[in-house]
Amino acid sequence: MTSETSDRTVLTGISSRAWEHPADRGALVALRKLRGFDTVVKRLSSFITERAVRLMLLGSAIRVDSRQFSRLFRIYTEAATVLDVEQVPELYVAANPFLNAQTVGLDKPVIVMNSSLLDALDDDELRFVLGHELGHVGSGHAVYRTVLLLLTTLSTTLLSIPLGGLGLRAILAALWEWARKSELSGDRAGLLACQDPAAALRVHMKLASGGDTSQLDPDAFLEQAVAYHEDEDIRDLLLRALVVETMTHPFAVARAGELRRWVSSGEYALVVAGSYPRREDDAKADLSAETVAAAASYGDQFAKAEQTIDRFFKDLTDGLGSMGSRVTGLFRPPARDGRPHDPEDPATPSW
């Protein structure tokens, strides 16, 4: 059953399967089939102190509620209502000039938005970004995204360990491949939260342009997305694969094109009209043929990493001396020179 809140339809009981892109689910299925990967995740999780992360956020960022960033809190509450979120995560605003947001955590994920978003985005655009992050939470992406963030943070240390870099690169390659696909699911959840395709497109345009869309044209932007994908020349196919190999997110232009294809397929309209899978049926749901095919494809790519996982975990255990300080350091405010402490490229968004 659906109901109305303002101009948006509340998607009561909606399952994350409604917004999960087949490539995202396929990559995750294949990733979990890597021999020993779940063991690595569990062991890494034991080193992560969520309490320390939360304390760092409480001490350095602003926890959003009805008294602090009330506009954002209202929009966040509306987005959570539309997606029928059962347990709404804590939301924080961190002082940072880059257009960025991220979801981190294991048992209790939190969403962190950079302060620059509040000035750059209107209400519907913020609703898209918040819905995107809530989609990550609903799909259970936070655990793997946190592991990826920590492995990236540790990469410099582990690459100095003999033979450690080989295993690290193998696991990071698999996680990066999945992470890029998970963003497509997040975008679908964001669109379902805001239910305004034009607002979703504007976010991708602002992301690609740095925030100023006054001289951009939506039709030309989407034509650019088509041009990015349409050339089947083998050289371009290889170049596209090489360009994104170490990126945690697809290009903003490509994401806009992918989301528009979902809208054009009619699937988005069906979900808003009430035709979507329910959480109550998740336990008996089967993977679609499309997802199985995607998993098989990614499985071939990930198979090359299996032989290195055991060696990597041994190297990882030997190189975790300063893990705690690195984890909490992820959420420190920018230094006096204005540069963020984020170990990843700050120009790369998490939404």
The three state secondary structure string of the chain is CEEEECCEEEECCECHHHCCCHHHHHHHHHHHCCCCHHHHHHHHHHHCCHHHHHHHHHHHCEECCCCCCHHHHHHHHHHHHHCCCCCCCCEEEECCCCCCEEEECCCCCEEEEECHHHHHCCHHHHHHHHHHHHHHHHCCHHHHHHHHHHHHHHHHHHHCCCCHHHHHHHHHHHHHHHHHHHHHHHHHHHHHHHCCHHHHHHHHHHHHHCCCCCCCCHHHHHHHHHHHHHCCCHHHHHHHHHHHCCCCCCCHHHHHHHHHHHHHCCHHHHHHCCCCCEHHHHHHCCCCHHHHHHHHHHHHHHHHHHHHHHHHHHHHHHCCCCHHHHHHHCCCCCCCCCCCCCCCCCCCCCC
Catalytic hit among 78, 133, 258, 344: 133
User: Does the active-site annotation cover 133?
Assistant: yes
Q: For residue 18, give both structure tokens.
A: 């409604």
Q: For residue 263, give both structure tokens.
A: 């809208």
Strand 101-104 and strand 91-94: pairing?
A: unpaired
Active-site amino acid positions: 133
